[in-house]
Structure 1
């Protein structure tokens, strides 16, 4: 699939607070998505209401 040049930024909405022990899978996939999109040159906007998430840590 070719890269779209009309899209400059992408909004990612995190899973938020969930059951203890199940958050790491959602965090890991979200972090990987953010990294991949940034490598492609997109501006990533992340919203996640989970205060314990690793997704909002500086890269």
Structure 2
């Protein structure tokens, strides 16, 4: 798949706190995705409410926000950082729900 030159920054939405039986696999896959995106020259902006996750290590993102994963918080980050794309699929149901709410509220269209 060819690299898209129009995407220079990506907002990665993490999974939040690890719950038994859920989210640790998202932490691993999210960390690997952040690493690869940065290797490809993409600016990675990460939001995750779990400060204990490896994803929040400064080596994996150019900007890290340890904030609640809510549409309001994510909108504030989008307004400030102006990412070219959003990657919620690495954050499990929490991130997917937040991304769907952003879409339904018209926030993605706004920015």
Q: TM-score range by the shorter chain?
A: 0.7 to 0.9
- Structure 2: gaps spanning 5 or more residues: 60-111
Deviating above 2 A after TM superposition, structure 1's stretches of 4 or more consecutive aligned residues are 20-24
Residue 22 of structure 1, CA deviation: 3.9
Aligned length in residues = 59
SS at match of 1:32: helix
- Structure 1: gaps spanning 5 or more residues: none
> What is the root-mean-square deviation in Å for CA atoms of aligned residues?
1.4
TM-score by length of 2: 0.48
Larger RCO of the pair (alpha carbons < 8 Å, separation 6+):
1
Tell me, yes or no, if structure 1 residue 27 matches structure 2 residue 27.
Answer: yes
The residue aligned with 2:18 is 18
TM-score by length of 1: 0.85
SS at match of 1:26: helix
